[in-house]
Structure formats: structure tokens, C-alpha cells
Amino acid sequence: MTLSSQIESLQKSRGASDPSFIKVLSSMLEQLGEEADARSQEALIRFARFPYRKTLEDFDFDFQSSVAKQSLQKLLDEDYLSRKQNLIFLEPPGVGKTHIAVAFGMNAAMSRSKVQFISCSELIARLREAQERNTYLRRLASFARPALLIIDEVGYSQMSSEDSALFFDVVCRRYETGSIIITSNKSYKDWGEIFGGDSVIATAILDRLLHHSKSFVLKGESFRMKERREDVRL
């Protein structure tokens, strides 16, 4: 039954001036609104292509004490996205960098912002492929469009100077127009090495990325190892 036919049949049975009719109608409309919200949030979460769906509520801040929940919450409260601020999570594997990046992405999608999650190697591969197909500018624009671009695992593999130039293009296109979240297992001092040993391009990338940004250097033991140890103990 369509909404209008439901309203019509209610109207016939009760009369439009009946206060209970108005109540039923407004609750129906509210429900429809909520359903539409949930659908658009779900669509945005799917579009983002997160590797998993996790939030800050799922994060154990007692285990990972080098980052405080309050400082992450503060960024959300101060609306880092509309301030086009970048967030960078650095250092060892398994400490929750991707989890936190996904949590920020989920939060943005739930607030109806467009998010895209991509690994650094896939980002470069997509741009290279676009170059070959003469669709580079269009592809670059697609990475500039979302309110939030999450680039995961920067620095896991070294980039050539051509690849670094592609990365630089993405950072330039989004500079002061949209937030980037980066996770990396390398500290800033090793970034020259990531970008093909080209310290000029590494400096140019860092200069733009860090201008409006907040960095977090995580520490500690891998959560994966902790879980494995607990499994073994069982």
C-alpha cells in the first residue's frame, strides 16, 4: 500500500480532524524520515568501502593508552571536517590506526558526509590506470569530491618518484577543500624514503598535509598479538 493510499483510507475511517489521525499521520511521516535517513547512511557507508565497520565505541582506550578518547572526541566536536583539517595516525602495526580512521569515517557517513576509504597502493594504482586511459583528471577529481578521503597504509611500500607525484596531486587537490585521514607505519623522518627518496616532493606533500592537521603517534603492542596470545591461552 502506498503512503497516499494509507493516508486516504485512514482519513475515510477516522476523519481528517480526528486528533488521533493527525498523531498517526505524524508518526508515520517520522518513521518514513527515519527510514530514509538510515537508507542514506547505509548508502554512504557502502560507498566508502571500509575494510570493516568499527566505531570509537568499539575501541579499547585502556589497551591503547597513547591516544585519549577525549582528544579524538574533541576533533569531532570541533567539526574537523568542515574545518578541512587532516588527521594523521602514525607508527607500529596493529595498534589501531586503521580502526580509528574507520571510526572517523563511520562518524562522517552517519552525519551524511561522503567518505572514501582506500589503501595508498590502490590509490596509486587507480591513478596510474587512469593515466593510461587518458582519464587522469576525471579520476583525480573523483578523489577530490568526498568530504573525507581516508588513505590507509601510506609507506608500506616505497613509491617511485612518478607515484609520489600522483600522491602529491591528490594532496594538492584536497588542500583546504577537504579533509584527508592518513595512516602510516612510518614516522615523519622516514617520509622522504617513502616518496622515492625524493625529499623535495616529500617536503611539499608534508607541507600541505600538515598545514591544518593533527597527528597522533600511537605506541604499544599489537592488538592482534594480544588477541592471539589470549586465544593460545584458552
Give the contact letters, 174-203, x = binds to ligand ADP (CB under 6 A), - = no.
---------x--------------------
Give the number of other Cβ atoms within 10 Å of residue 155's Cβ.
Answer: 19
Q: Does residue 113 bind Mg ion (CB under 5 A)?
A: no
Q: How far is the CB of 128 from ligand ADP (least distance, A)?
A: 24
> Of 23-31, 78-86, 88-96, 143-151, which part binds ligand ADP (CB under 6 A)?
88-96
- In the list ligand ADP, Mg ion, none, the entry touching 64 (Cβ below 5 to 8 angstroms by class) is ligand ADP
Cell numbers 481528517: residue: 16
Of the candidates 194, 176, 197, the residue with the CA atom closest to the CA atom of residue 184: 194
How many residues of this chain bind ligand ADP (CB under 6 A)?
15
Between 96 and 178, CB nearer to ligand ADP: 96
Strands ordered across the beta sheet of 179-184 = 115-119, 148-154, 179-184, 86-90, 213-217
Q: Does residue 15 bind ligand ADP (CB under 6 A)?
A: no
Q: Does residue 99 bind ligand ADP (CB under 6 A)?
A: yes
- Give the Å distances, CA to CA, from 71 to 105, 163, 188, 215: 16, 33, 21, 11
> Of 9-17, 42-50, 92-100, 155-163, which part binds ligand ADP (CB under 6 A)?
92-100
Q: How far is the CB of 195 from ligand ADP (least distance, A)?
A: 20
Q: List all residues 6 or more positions away from 196 whose beta carbon is below 8 Å from its beta carbon.
A: 158, 159, 160, 161, 163, 164
Give the three-state DSSP class for 83. Answer: coil
Q: Does residue 228 bind ligand ADP (CB under 6 A)?
A: no
> Of 38-46, 55-63, 72-80, 161-169, which part binds ligand ADP (CB under 6 A)?
55-63
The rounded distance, in Å, linking the Cα atoms of 59 and 182 is 18
Q: Does residue 104 bind ligand ADP (CB under 6 A)?
A: no
Cell numbers 570493516: residue: 52
Give the contact letters, 72-101, x = binds to Mg ion (CB under 5 A), - = no.
--------------------------x---
DSSP class of 128: H
Of the candidates 213, 217, 193, the residue with the CA atom closest to the CA atom of residue 203: 193
| Residues of this chain that bind Mg ion (CB under 5 A) | 98
